[in-house]
Structure 1
Amino acid sequence: MYGVSSSGYYAWKCRQESARHQQDQVLKASLREAHQGHRKAYGAPRMHRYLRQQGLACSVRRINRLMRELGIKASTTGLYAWRPGQHELYSSTGNQLSEAGKATATRAQWAGDFTYIKTHSGWLYHAVVMDLYSRRIVGWSFSRKRNAELTKSALRMALSRHAPRSGCIFHSDQGIEYAAHEYRDLVEQADMVRSMSRKGNPLDNARVESFFHTMKAELIHPEQFEHEIEAVARIVEYIEFYNRERLHSSLGYQSPVEYEKLCA
């Protein structure tokens, strides 16, 4: 089948292993031991340096090949995918909110974020838009899918009910749901200024996070929702309570709607 002669086959079968193949077996045994002994954390470059320190001659390329043959790799491999252009996409929008200072009027600074709600029929994603001056939730949406349409729906609701001032800052984290081109276009068409949290710093969007924490503590965790319809109805009811009745210590123990009236 393979065009190999009988004599050639038996000569290959009886031939001793080459010195290089024997060294490969030694390196493989050392690789297995080092892989387990170092919490499976070493990739080819570190493994190469470690084996050289043990007096074993090898190259990074050879170690890389042997690790592939053994099926071992660093435990962090694949956790962080390389995405060309991602840094430029996020860095093009700085944290405008941190430079603007505290809001002095309604419809001047908005912030958006989303969370997930557990029901017996599955997970439900919930996005909101908050007016940072009064902490009022001015837009919200729900979806079974986590995508840009979820965040766009919440913003469209806010735009239809509370027209923002020209140059209003819209702040969010660096999620792709807020960095998507269609979402960016919607913000810019409304004459708003985009702002994003610094990477790995959730405190930049702390006020919206505080709302989600409060809502989950007062509504979500004490109850078990059977399905998304029940969850949506109860959350919308809670938002109305949050906006019109719940007293906020940061607002002098007034509700967001009452605070807006008093400061108008």
Structure 2
Amino acid sequence: MPNPRCFQSSVLSLSIPQTFKTPGRRCGLETTDSAEFKQRYGVMKIHHELNLELQPLQLRCSPRRISRLMKELDIHSVTVNKWKAASASKTKVEQRPNLLKQDFSTTGLNQKWTADMTYIQTKRNGWCYLSTIMDLHSRRIIGYSFSKKMDTDLVLKTLESAVKNRTITGDLIIHTDLGSQYTSDDYNQRLTELHIRHSYSRKGCPYDNAPMESFHASLKKECVYPVPVFEDYETAAAVLFEYVHAFYNRKRIHSSLGYQTPLQVEIATLTSQMAARFNAFQGSNKLLIAINDLFELWKVNAVLNVS
């Protein structure tokens, strides 16, 4: 009689390559194009996916076991860590209020946003610039803009795209670094008009904006570094748009979200809010709030259908 552990390892050895190429089969996310995930998942995410598939069989596997089997199968994530030299700037920067203070916790959507920019290299157009805004509750990228110029217009376009996708209510904070685009009068005037409070990272402290730094690291490792330099601005724009809107927001699971996707978290949050407010309905004001939540959920689904 074969050893049960050896038998399980044989089954896992057959399952790992399939999960590696096309995760999300259990959620109905599998597509005919398995290259969509581009083999981006590492040990921990494959471990999570496989354990969910093994639940009906009342079986489990450890990350260490998955790591060993992946090495035996010569399977590894395509993500690449790219070394980059860093030097401390001697430019004196005026410190501004840090309202967030590395407290990234939230109880709902549109409470805390974080924004930043990153550089994308192309052959024909040189350096281009990606500006994004993230909702810290769902880790979804809600504001997005890509440009050949790193100026205030770029971050303003990103802000407007985020505002267009959300209904701003309550005491919203947006956190950025001390870059000249974010400290500009035009940017802060627009935030004042929108009744959004501005929080800033301390100089030279990326941990103050850790979720956005993590997103940029994932984007670079999973989308930018594994391929040759983009040919031009248009090529980069198409690839980045696909990664952010089709993959990262909709299909990439996050350990910080309990291995859910940003879109799943947003839909669950809005559905829960609507149910709670309808149950507690005692007047027209609460009904209007519930209707507003329904509108938010409609916008999320509209983005899903367009993407």
TM > 0.5 between the two? yes
Partner of 1:244: 250
Change (3 A) 1:100 1:210: closer
Distance in structure 1 (CA, Å) of the matches to 2:173 and 2:105 = 12
- Give the equivalent residue in structure 2 for 1:26: none
Partner of 1:262: 268
Q: CA deviation at 1:191?
A: 0.9
Contact 2:102 2:209 (8 Å CA) reproduced: no
Residues 1:100 and 1:116: Cα distance change in structure 2 (over 3 Å): closer
Give the count of matched residue pairs: 179
Q: Which residue pairs with 2:122 in the alignment? A: 119
Instruction: Give the TM-score taking structure 2 as reference length.
Output: 0.56
1:204 is the counterpart of 2:214: no
What is the identity, as a one-letter code, of the residue corresponding to 1:112? A
Please state how far the C-alpha of 1:195 moved relative to its aligned partner.
0.3
User: Deviation of residue 99 (structure 1)?
Assistant: 7.6
- In structure 2, C-alpha distance between the alignment counterparts of 1:209 and 1:101, rounded to whole Å: 13
Distance in 2, Cα, partners of 1:206 & 1:165? 25
Runs of 4+ in 1 over 3 A off after TM superposition: 79-82
For residues 144 and 243 of structure 1, what CA distance do their matches in structure 2 show? 24
SS at match of 1:146: coil
Q: Which residue of 2 aligns with 1:68?
A: none
Which AA in structure 1 matches 2:170? Answer: S
- Equivalents in 2 of 1:80, 1:256: separation in Å? 38
Does the 8 Å contact 1:166/1:191 carry over to 2? no
Identity of aligned residues (%): 38
CA contact (8 A) 1:117 1:126 kept: yes
| Aligned-partner SS, 2:142 | strand
Unaligned runs of 5+ in 2: 1-88, 271-307
Moved more, 252-261 or 94-103: 94-103
1:259 partner amino acid: V
Shift of 1:113: 0.1
8 A contact 1:166–1:192 mirrored in 2: no
| Aligned counterpart for 2:109 among listed residues 106, 109, 115 | 106
Deviation string, structure 1 residues 89-147 (Cα, Å, up to 9, x no partner): x43xx111128661110111101000000111111111000001110000111111111
The question of 1:233 aligning with 2:223 is answered: no
| Aligned match for 2:179, one of 175, 179, 204 | 175
TM-score scaled by length of structure 1: 0.65
Q: How far did 1:257 drift?
A: 0.6
Shift of 1:208: 0.4
